[in-house]
Amino acid sequence: MNDRKKKRSLISFDWAIKRLLRSKVDFIILEGFLSELLKVNVRIKNILESESNKTDKDDRHNKCDLLCENDRGELIIIEVQFHREMDYFQRMLYATSKVISEYIAAGEKYAEVKKLYSINILYFDLGQGDDYLYKGETNFRGLRNSDRLRLSSTQVKTFGKDYPSDLYPEYYLIKVNNFDDVAKNSLDQWIYYLKNSELPPTNITAKGLDKVKERFKYDKMDATQKKEYDQYLESLRASDSAIETAKYEAKEEAISKKNMEVIVNSFNEGLDIPKIAKIIAESEEEVKRILQDKGLL
């Protein structure tokens, strides 16, 4: 994970997406990021609320960080996630399914289902892959001749799309920590900011990114905002610490359990206490204590 303890001059994107990018005056920044990622000119029409975007004590699944609608009526989920989740792929599927179902009214035709983009900015390693940007979409391939299924001419005329994948959700994974900090293109400039909370040391050409320096300066926040932001960063650090502590304790517990097995098995094989203590690099008193607890002494 990137070092959040280092003082940055710019507000981090994860904070901005929760507090600032919901304001119309800052839509140009969000539009710039989405335009660079999706390779089309994106215009934000609305920031939406959904059941997936609200805190619900009865819903065990985390809320999405931002849900918006563009000027074509398409929906865009943006999620920032710092900590590893084994079932994150299923979480993405759940989130897209839930949003789609929420934004089709009862009785409407299936043709009214909205195109949806799921954008996931991840500060942990998901799956096995060395790239820092992945795209997932649904394609239908022939099992015999491997042709890609197209929409019919009538469907193309009706929906203005060529393939079923154009109608289905698209998933984008930005594995921030895999980025090497070398901004080779305009999208890389955005990813540099996502990783470092600073602009890259190059001529900024990415859409919307020039506004980040202007709008997201830490020093431009008032005292209350600075306090809230600092508390937010501290909560992330505390969360990191809790996770690392849990990992350490789990590792120590596993080592302790293994040592107990070695002690019991070695004793049953006839090894004396000094030899067992030497094998596991523990004191003889500790070995005796474990053997006594197991009823072997």
For the chain, the domains span 13-217, 237-293
At 55 the pLDDT is: 43
At 59 the pLDDT is: 41
Q: What average pLDDT is seen over the chain?
A: 86
For residues 263 and 257, what is the distance between their CA atoms, to the nearest angstrom? 10
Tell me the CB-side half-sphere exposure of residue 102, using CA atoms within 13 A: 15
pLDDT at 22 over 90: no
At 255 the pLDDT is: 58
Other Cβ atoms less than 10 A from the Cβ of 217: the count is 12
Highest mean pLDDT among 47-51, 82-86, 198-202: 198-202
pLDDT at 15 over 70: yes
At 201 the pLDDT is: 92
User: What does each C-alpha distance from 157 to 57, 148, 160, 288 come to in angstroms?
Assistant: 44, 19, 5, 81
When pLDDT is averaged across residues 203-228 and rounded to a whole number, the result is 90
When pLDDT is averaged across residues 95-113 and rounded to a whole number, the result is 90
Q: Is 106 helix (H, G, I), strand (E, B) or coil?
A: coil
Strand 44-48: give its sheet, edge to edge: 44-48, 66-70, 75-81, 116-122, 170-175, 133-136
pLDDT at 1 over 50: no
- With contact defined as beta carbons under 8 Å apart, do 67 and 48 qualify? yes
Highest mean pLDDT among 181-195, 237-251, 259-273: 181-195
The architecture CATH gives domain 237-293: Orthogonal Bundle (1.10)
At 214 the pLDDT is: 85
